[in-house]
Structure 1
Amino acid sequence: MPERFLGIDTSNYRTSAAVYDADSGEWCNRGSLLTVPEGAIGLRQSDALFQHTVHLHEKIEALPQGEVRAVGVSTRPRAVEGSYMPCFLAGKSVAHSAAHLLSVPLFEVSHQQGHIAAAALSAGRLDLLDSRFLAWHLSGGTSELLYVECGADGLPDCTCIGGTTDLAAGQLLDRAGALLELPFPSGAALDELALTAEPQKGFRPRVTDCRFSLSGMQNQVENKFKTEKPEDMARFALETVANAVIKATEQAKERYDVPVLCAGGVMASRVIRARMEKRFGSGVSFAEPTLSGDNAVGVAVLAARLYRKTGADGQ
């Protein structure tokens, strides 16, 4: 029987299902962004849950057919007490039903753990999941610098050691994109626009003990919108995020001499990636854009790890 695993992720931004072959390392992901009304910069949880419920079966039906060893699903944003979002209920319900009918184990993980696993797979660094490393989870709702080690259960054990104290990086970029009437989420379009501008220094937020604030940057971005070309405003926003991320990473590496893995949709930015690679060289690894944003591939990878560790004992 092939070493194939089904992963399901119903996040705040995307409906996603994936199959991962643990023998070959090949994967297939089927996902789509949730529909956000024009001009809006997010969805109510009830609307996200409804869209997942309507479309999840389409993503699963679009996957290659064949037997699977186990089912993995993200059931909460982070693997910490009290972490909860209703949108994950859609995936959890389908995953439990599928595992029962297929008579295979079910493994529950967090959305954040899935991001980290997807980034490790994409970067060719699955070995990191068995060691210690720093990881950035930079997305629309999360801007966390994590110290990660392999937990007793085989899953990434993440401790937040830094990141934003208020506005997430993705929120800042989405608000910049809204001013420019770019589609939501705006990261990819904003990055494309920024690449047409000349490099600039951006603002350097104060970073203390790996933590920084981005809320004040919104006013500066809005002022740029009034006085400068769109591409310069976009570049300013991304360079500002890069400045904060680099400084926080420098501070973290003074305490932890370990590799850095970058996950989350914001880390797909070519502006930010180029800055990070210039500063940290081979010490930093990135997910490719297709696995930077929300996806179920990492969830399937973790299901494979848990299956091989526990055999048929799922949840």
Structure 2
Amino acid sequence: MAIILGIESSCDDTSASICVNGKIYSNIIASQVIHQKYGGVIPELASRVHQQNIIPAVHQAIADAKIHKNDIDAVAFTRGPGLLGSLIVGTSFAKAFALANGLPLIEVNHMQAHILAHFIDENKPSFPFICLTVSGGHTQIVLVKDYFDMEIVGQTTDDAAGEAFDKTAKMLGLPYPGGPLIDKYAKEGNKLAFKFPEPQIHGLDFSFSGLKTSIMYFVRDRLKDDPDFLQNNLADVCASVQERIISILLNKLKKAAVQFDIRNIAIAGGVSANSGLRAALNQTAEELNWNVFIPKFEYCTDNAAMIAIAGHYKFLNQEFVGQDVAPMARMKF
């Protein structure tokens, strides 16, 4: 039996998890509310709050799992990609904990961990499958051939889908983080009320910068004509924007499914918690006879359970790193 301590600190959530023989026993997430008043994550503040949160989060994860720290067999941590200062905190703690307790270290790629979150609970996808990973910093279509045999076959050429949600929310005067609020208001609106353009990008790649610009000019022009436009049409605008972002994502996903002749389709990352995306994916699955896999909400956003489960599979292969390992803000598969 292997017990893995997982550490996640890639952005502004400090998280610790215990995985026992491939089962998650605890998953503690300490979020940072300090960034709300700035309208976005401030990297320096994020790293400082990680220092405050990481020890209590680990203690709570160990307590909730009802184990002792001496029972742990290895420490898995997010090496990258992410904010460098935040990664340094998590990496430094993982190295110190492992050194003090004579444990091996396991480095984990944050984006691979999002995909491996599908293996936390039952109804696991079989290989090969296609995974759409969507978050604030990344938008990728990944061909998953095995636990760590993954190929990025499509990705954003500029901004990520999650950023498009958050920047749109800011344009609409919504507080940070705005993506979940757009999802909330969209449920009450008409998704066909307003039309936004779909970027014509070759192949399986994405682009969201042009869409954000289009939304910015739309809001500017409507407010110029009617200062109360957003107050009276907020739900419809949110629904229309969300509909376009989702259609961009699913249209590329459909192309990938045809190109690789694969019907096992998964989504992962923070934006996969979006209820509109989940509903649209399930509807598409019925139309195209896909087998769809979506993690629980708690495993969609940044969390240490996905790091711990990735560490579990690496532990089985004895894939360890030394104490000289350093975090990487940009880390490829």
TM-score class, shorter: 0.7 to 0.9
* Alpha-carbon distance between aligned partners in 1 of 2:189 and 2:205, rounded to the nearest angstrom: 28
Gaps of 5+ in 1: 78-82
* Alpha-carbon distance between aligned partners in 2 of 1:237 and 1:303, rounded to the nearest angstrom: 37
2:265 counterpart residue number: 260
Larger Rg: 2
Which of 191, 211, 218 is the equivalent residue of 2:212?
Answer: 218
* 2:27–2:303 Cα contact (<8 Å) kept: yes
* Alpha-carbon distance between aligned partners in 1 of 2:123 and 2:161, rounded to the nearest angstrom: 26
Deviation at 1:169, TM superposition (A): 0.7
* 1:119–1:292 Cα contact (<8 Å) kept: no
* 1:69–1:105 Cα contact (<8 Å) kept: yes
* 1:41–1:175 Cα contact (<8 Å) kept: no
Deviations 1:103-159 (A, max 9, x none): 22210111111111123425631x54xx32211110111111112222xxxx52332
* 2:24–2:120 Cα contact (<8 Å) kept: no
Map 1:101-112 → 2, pairs under 5 A: 101-112=100-111
Deviations 1:45-77 (A, max 9, x none): 322222211211121121133222211001111
Deviation at 1:194, TM superposition (A): 0.8
1:147 is the counterpart of 2:130 = no
User: Percent of aligned pairs with the same residue?
Assistant: 23
* Alpha-carbon distance between aligned partners in 2 of 1:86 and 1:35, rounded to the nearest angstrom: 18
Which of 223, 229, 247 is the equivalent residue of 1:243?
Answer: 247
Secondary structure at 2:251 match in 1: helix
Deviation at 1:220, TM superposition (A): 3.2
TM-score normalised by length of structure 2: 0.82
1:200 counterpart residue number: 192
* 1:199–1:235 Cα contact (<8 Å) kept: yes
When structure 1 is superposed on structure 2, of 30-39 and 262-271 the one drifting more is 30-39
* 2:187–2:239 Cα contact (<8 Å) kept: yes
2:327 counterpart residue number: none
**CA 1:239–1:120: 2 relative to 1, 3 Å:** farther
What code does the residue aligned with 2:251 have? Answer: K
Alignment: residue pair count: 300
What code does the residue aligned with 1:261 have? Answer: A
Secondary structure at 1:86 match in 2: helix
Secondary structure at 2:14 match in 1: strand
Deviations 1:226-269 (A, max 9, x none): 44511111112211111111111111112212322211111111
RMSD value, Cα: 2.3
2:8 counterpart residue number: 9
* 2:11–2:83 Cα contact (<8 Å) kept: no
Deviation at 1:216, TM superposition (A): 1.7
2:303 counterpart residue number: 295
* Alpha-carbon distance between aligned partners in 2 of 1:84 and 1:177, rounded to the nearest angstrom: 22
**CA 1:295–1:10: 2 relative to 1, 3 Å:** same
1:73 counterpart residue number: 77
* 1:221–1:233 Cα contact (<8 Å) kept: no
* Alpha-carbon distance between aligned partners in 1 of 2:235 and 2:212, rounded to the nearest angstrom: 16
Secondary structure at 2:188 match in 1: coil
TM-score normalised by length of structure 1: 0.86
**CA 1:84–1:45: 2 relative to 1, 3 Å:** closer
Secondary structure at 2:38 match in 1: coil
Map 1:120-135 → 2, pairs under 5 A: 120-122=119-121, 124-125=123-124, 128=126, 131-135=127-131
**CA 1:123–1:269: 2 relative to 1, 3 Å:** farther
Gaps of 5+ in 2: 224-228, 323-333
* 1:41–1:174 Cα contact (<8 Å) kept: no
What code does the residue aligned with 2:131 have? Answer: A
What code does the residue aligned with 1:91 have? Answer: G
